[in-house]
Amino acid sequence: MVDEVRAALEAAGAERADAVDHGALGVHVDARVPAGALRKAVEVLRGWEFLIEDVVGVDAAPEMMVVYHFNHVGGGCRVRLRVLTDRESPEVPTIQDIFPGANWHEREQHDFYGVMFAGHPDLSPLILPEDAGDLRPLRKKDKRLKSLGDVLPAFAPPEAGGEDA
Amino acid sequence: MIPRPDPSQETLVLNMGPQHPSTHGVLRVVLRLDGEYVLEAHPVIGYGHRMHELMGEVRTSSGFYANVGRMDYGGALSFGHGHVLAVEKLAGIEVPPRAEYIRVITTEMNRIASHLLWFGAFLLDLGAFTPILYSFDDREFILDLLEHVTGARLTFSYHRIGGVARDLDDKFIEGTRVFLRRMRERLDVYDKLVTGNVIFRKRAEGVGVIDKDTVLKYGATGPVARGSGLAYDIRRVEPYSVYPDLEFEIPTATEGDSFARYRVRLAEIEQCLRIVEQALDRLPDGPVQAKVPKKVKLGPGDAYQAVEAARGELDYYLVGDGSDVPYRMKIRPPSFSNLSLLGEVCQGVLLSDLVTIMGSLDLVIPEIDR
Amino acid sequence: MSNALPPDLIRLVVSLAVVVGFAFANAAVLVLVERKVCGHIQRRPGPFEVGPHGLLQTAIDGLKLMGKQILVPDNADTKLFRLAPILSFVPPIAALIVVPFAKVLQVRDLDIGVLFILSLAAVNVLAILVAGWSSANKYSLFGAIRAVAQNVAYEIPLLLSLLVVVMWVGSFRMSDIVAAQDGFWFVFTPMGFVAFLIYFVTGLAETNRAPFDLPEAESELTAGFHTEYAGMGFGLFFLGEYTNMLLMAAIATTCFLGGWNGPWFLAVSGTGVVATLIQLCWFLVKVYGIILVMVWIRWTFPRVRFDQLLNFCWKVLIPISMANLVATAVVAKLVPLG
């Protein structure tokens, strides 16, 4: 199952899809997907019996990350898709037409980070009040902001030494 | 889009909530009605939002732990269990087996209490007043036991990173065994009192049918998924803690209606009793707290921990930066996804059915709003 | 002085005062009984703090309700809003005038007694409609809509089931109906039994009691038609509801359970003081027996859904009561009463 999903994700345009230790990390497949290939990768998962878990933003420098979690109903295959996007004007395509459940998750991350989900029909505040405007509470202030490579060694630039999640 | 009044149509826009007896908290559902028929149901959430995720990013894990129980007042221990498991996973802490067993026993007791709360509230939604007092009678029994061991009745804050706060004593164990016997008899009483009632059956059967695909699309979990024929229970499909050692079944029903969800939850109480009984029998000796460094350093890296809370799958996603404060902490509460399918399921139902459906989803609003 | 006032008028005023007092006392007792019975059904003692065994709880609650400010919502139709509680409370009390509590305990024995009661009882739905409409609240309006549809539908089987009795006796007069049951009660005849069951179910619906309490279904409509009422406005609706229950039970007792007649071997038909007291006791025992069953049902069953409620009425109750009426007509022709 894990290998099939990895192969299918890579065929759908994922940069890499690694099988990782579920006991230590909590997922079976950890895939890095360019924003352009996200919808294709998600459609692959929709074809199998995957259910959507959540959409998570992680604010970091120089790029922020949007993480998607899916789980297979039979178990044994929890998939994480990581999408990197620009920090100043983050934008990734919406997947709410593939998984309608993503609608609320995307709105929530739009509330918290200001991530634009291109193609989303209604990005009005879901959890924050209607007049929240540009509050973006989970954006890291300068002091707290770290580089992606520091928090996730797998994303460190090659010369820094960290590699392979 | 939230429905707005439209004079050109003969429809009525009704704000159900934020204060309404059957929204169980501060949920607002904006309805577009044609007579008694619901054309559109649009849940509006966030009235109880407290930004727990941000608090999780500025406090140490043990400092934040007290928050998690505040999200789900019905089943606080599952939320605590998931949180400490996630932190332990990322920090690489081994938990003594006795502590893990105690966690399972208390969590399962809490799950029964949560289902009993739901049982009463659901029937209250259907206009039956009496069952809630029967189920609260039993729930009190559990809460008294849990209060004895944890010191609190709802927001237990019982777990510690690497263990639990206090060991179980004989009084708790004896009391739990008494409860197990009593609860099995009481389940029959519930069955006789409610399950066969013709009005109840007519109100619940065939109402709010959620098919398998809707469950997958919306990521609904817990009894909602199991009532639609998916045997999806994190305790089995992705075993954690000591659940692999315990024998229990995952009750499912295939109809996907409110009555199926009702049956699944009642059957789950029975399975919880089995789990508690086995865990008590196998409870190993030993310490209940691992040696844990003063500063629990997280990462760098990320970890994902899924547990089965009373209402469905609860996930914690932790990103650590090597300090003792998480860099990112995401909580995926079960009711959030379960509620998100309300709009799709409630098209064309009657107003009374909407109340039935919301009740059968077992919503806890603070957990949705976080 | 006594010559100036006709004795009939004095009798009327005194009896009216007694009837109104009885209605209030009845509501006070019923509220307590309802809460106590509900408590015991739910395995708890019910109100217990005020007075011995909580007996004074209703009195305190009544005082509290009277002490509260009467609020009228901004957009409400003030006149109608204030009129509605009175509309709900007065007609059932007025209807008690023709109820024979004992052979001589009857304020007025109208020859259209049954009609009189039913027409006054029908005002209840008007009160709910006025309350729901004038509140300018969507939930109240829904309650009113439901109440009208429900009461109009259930009035038909209610009338049909009472017509069975009227046809049998050949009179609308309450005292005739009771007299006709001297010896055997209509509930013990096949047609009478069916009519009694139909009457009881429709009576529950007419008084908006659970499981037919849709106009005030609090899990759906917060409080339905009386959502906006506070203090004594709500209190009067409450009084009206309990007086309506009393009225429904009194009609059932009169028309089906032999009125003030005791069972065969204990029947007392005199007009003396002792005989009247015994008759009154029999009447009240039957009335409160029926009311207790109504209370019991309320705390046991879930609420039905609106469409189920109407379907049940139009598709089950009305055909059965029609058939029952026809059967009664045939039998009454073949076997003349007495």
Residue of B228, B302, B317, B367 to mutate for A, most A C-beta atoms under 10 A: B302
Helix (H) / strand (E) containing C191: helix C190-206
CA B237, B243, B246, B247 torsion-angle sign: negative
- B231-267 exposure pattern, b = at least 16 Cβ within 10 A, e = fewer: ebbbbebbebbbbeebebebbbbebbbbbbbbbbbbb
CA nearest B207 in C: which residue? Answer: C305
Q: Which residue has the higher pLDDT, C280 or B9?
A: C280
Residue located via tokens 């007049």: A131
Reported ipTM: the value is: 0.86
CB count in 10 Å sphere of residue C241: 23
For residues B30 and B16, is the Cβ–Cβ distance under 8 A? yes
Out of B22, B35, B203, whose CB is closest to C302?
Answer: B203
Chain C contact set for B22 (CB, 8 A): 219-220
B315 contacts in chain A (CB < 8 Å): 53-54, 69
* Rounded mean pLDDT, C104-129: 83
CB B193 within 8 A of CB B266: no
Say if the Cβ atoms of B351 and C220 lie within 8 Å: yes
- Give φ, ψ of C49 to 5 degrees: -90, -45
Q: What per-residue confidence (pLDDT) applies to C3?
A: 64
pLDDT by residue (tens digit) across B298-317?
878 888 889 998 888 999 99
* CATH code, A76: 3.30.460.80
Helix (H) or strand (E) holding C129: helix C123-134
pLDDT for position C265:
67
CB A85 within 8 A of CB A33: no
DSSP conformational letter for A61: B
C-alpha–C-alpha distance, residues A12 and B338, integer Å: 29
* Segment B291-297 mean pLDDT: 84
Task: Check pLDDT > 80 for residue B9.
Answer: no
Q: How far is CA B194 from CA B11, B260, C94, C144, in A?
A: 36, 14, 40, 30
CA atoms within 13 A on the CB side of B38: 26
Q: What is the largest CA-CA distance in chain C?
A: 63
Q: What's the pLDDT score for residue B116?
A: 92
Q: Is residue A139 part of a domain?
A: yes
Q: Tokens for C174?
A: 């309450």
**Spatial distance between the Cα atoms of C246 and C124, rounded to a whole number of angstroms:** 14
Mutate to test the interface with B, among C41, C220, C222, C310 (most CBs of B within 10 A): C220
**In a mutagenesis test of the B interface, which of A95, A104, A145 is the best target, namely the one with the most B β-carbons within 10 Å?**
A104
Residue of B nearest to A21 (CA): B303
User: Are C68 and C232 contacting, i.e. CB atoms less than 8 angstroms apart?
Assistant: yes
| Cα dist from C215 to C31, C130, C210, C232, whole Å | 20, 13, 10, 20
Report the largest interatomic distance among the alpha carbons of chain B, rounded to a whole angstrom: 72
CATH fit for domain B12-368, picks 3.40.50.150, 1.10.645.10, 2.60.40.1180, 3.30.950.10? 1.10.645.10
Is residue C323 very low, low, confident or very high in pLDDT (cuts 50, 70, 90)?
Answer: very high
What whole-number distance in Å separates Cα of residue B350 and Cα of residue B359? 14
Question: CA nearest B192 in C: which residue?
Answer: C300
Q: pLDDT tens for residues B167-195?
A: 888 899 999 999 999 999 889 888 888 88
What pLDDT score does B71 carry?
87
Whether residue A116 lies within 8 A of chain B, CB to CB, comes out as no
Residues of chain C with C-beta less than 8 angstroms from the C-beta of B133: 42-44
B280 contacts B201 by C-beta, under 8 angstroms: no
Q: Specify the DSSP class assigned to residue C189.
A: S
Binary contact (B350, C210; C-beta < 8 A):
no
Which of B214, B328, B17, C2 lies closest to A60 in space, CA to CA?
Answer: B328
User: For residue A163, what pLDDT is reported?
Assistant: 44
Q: Encode pLDDT of B262-285 as tens digits.
A: 999 999 999 999 999 999 998 888
Q: Which chain B residues are closer than 8 Å to C138 by Cβ?
A: 12, 14
What's the domain range around A19? Answer: 2-155
* Residue C272, both tokens: 């003396």
Is A161 a member of any domain? Answer: no
Neighbours of B81 (CB within 10 A): 28
Q: How far apart are CA B315 and CA B307, in angstroms?
A: 6
Instruction: Please give the pLDDT value at position C337.
Output: 55
- Determine the distance in angstroms separating the CA of C167 from the nearest CA of chain B, rounded to an integer: 34
User: Is the Cβ–Cβ distance between A109 and A64 less than 8 Å?
Assistant: no
Task: Report d(CA B336, CA C307) in Å as an integer.
Answer: 31
CA torsion, points A106, A109, A110, A111, in degrees to nearest 10? 130
Contact predicate A59/A139, CB 8 Å: yes
Binding-face residues of C in 173-212 toward B, CB within 8 A: 210-211
| Residue A52 φ then ψ, to 5° | -80, 135
How many domains does chain A contain in total? 1
Averaged pLDDT of chain C: 84
Q: Do B299 and A25 touch (CB under 8 A)?
A: no
Q: Give the mean pLDDT of C265-283.
A: 78
Going by their DSSP bridges, the two strands A50-58 and B301-309 should be labelled as: unpaired
Mean pLDDT (chain B) is: 88
Question: How far separated are the first and last CA of chain B, in Å rounded?
Answer: 22
Pick from B232, B300, B303: which is nearest to A25 by CB? B303
Instruction: Report yes or no: C40 at the B interface, CB cutoff 8 Å.
Output: no
Q: In what order do the strands lie in the sheet with A78-86?
A: A16-19, A29-32, A78-86, A63-72, A50-58
Helix (H, G, I), strand (E, B), or coil: what is residue C338?
coil
**Smallest Cα–Cα separation from B345: which of B180, B236, B209, B183?**
B209
Q: Does A107 touch chain B (CB under 8 A)?
A: no
Amino acid identity for residue B296 in this structure = V
Residue with tokens 């996603």: B317
- For the stretch C17-65, pLDDT in tens is 888 888 888 888 888 888 888 888 888 888 888 888 888 888 888 888 8
Report, as an integer, the average pLDDT of C135-160: 87
- pLDDT for C2 equals 53
Asked if the C-beta of A67 comes within 8 angstroms of chain B's C-beta atoms, the answer is: yes
As a three-state string, the secondary structure of chain B is CCCCCCCCCCCEEEEECCCCHHHCCCCEEEEEEECCEEEEEEEECCCCCCCHHHHHHHCCHHHHHHHHCCCCCCCHHHHHHHHHHHHHHHHCCCCCHHHHHHHHHHHHHHHHHHHHHHHHHHHHHCCCCHHHHHHHHHHHHHHHHHHHHHCCCCCCCCEECCEECCCCCHHHHHHHHHHHHHHHHHHHHHHHHHHCCHHHHHHHCCCCCCCHHHHHHHCCCCHHHHCCCCCCCHHHHCCCCCHHHCCCCCCCCCCCCHHHHHHHHHHHHHHHHHHHHHHHHHCCCCCCECCCCCCCCCCCEEEEEEEEECCEEEEEEEEECCCCCCCEEEEECHHHHHHHCHHHHCCCCEHHHHHHHHHHHCCCHHHHHC
C42 touches chain B (CB under 8 A): yes
Residue C135: CA atoms inside 13 Å, Cβ hemisphere, count? 26
* Contact across the interface for B130 and C217, Cβ inside 8 Å: no
Flag if B317 and A54 touch (Cβ within 8 Å). Answer: yes
Distance CA A28, CA A21 (A): 6
C-alpha torsion B32→B34→B39→B44, nearest 10: 20
Token pair for residue A107?
Answer: 């709105």
Residue of B nearest to A52 (CA): B219
For C176-198, write each residue's pLDDT tens digit.
Answer: 888 887 777 887 888 888 889 99
pTM of the model: 0.88
Please check whether residue C257 is in contact with residue C187, taking contact to mean a CB–CB distance below 8 angstroms.
Answer: yes
C-beta of residue B323 within 8 angstroms of C-beta of residue B206: no
Interface probe for A, chosen from B4, B89, B217 (most Cβ of A below 10 Å), is B217
- Name the maximum alpha-carbon separation found in chain A: 46
Taking chain A (165 residues) in runs of 10, the rounded mean pLDDT of each run is 82 80 82 87 86 88 87 86 88 89 89 88 86 83 80 69 44
**pLDDT above 70 for B6:** yes
Distance of residue B248 Cα from the nearest chain A Cα, in angstroms: 17
Is residue C310 a contact partner of residue C152, using CB atoms and an 8 Å limit?
Answer: no
Partnered with residue C165 across adjacent β-strands are none
Residue B41 touches chain C, beta carbons under 8 Å: no
pLDDT, tens digit, 9 for 90 and up, residues B330-346: 999 999 999 988 888 88
* Domain presence at residue A126: yes
Q: Is residue A42 a part of any domain in this protein?
A: yes
Question: In chain C, what percentage of residues exceed pLDDT 90?
Answer: 5
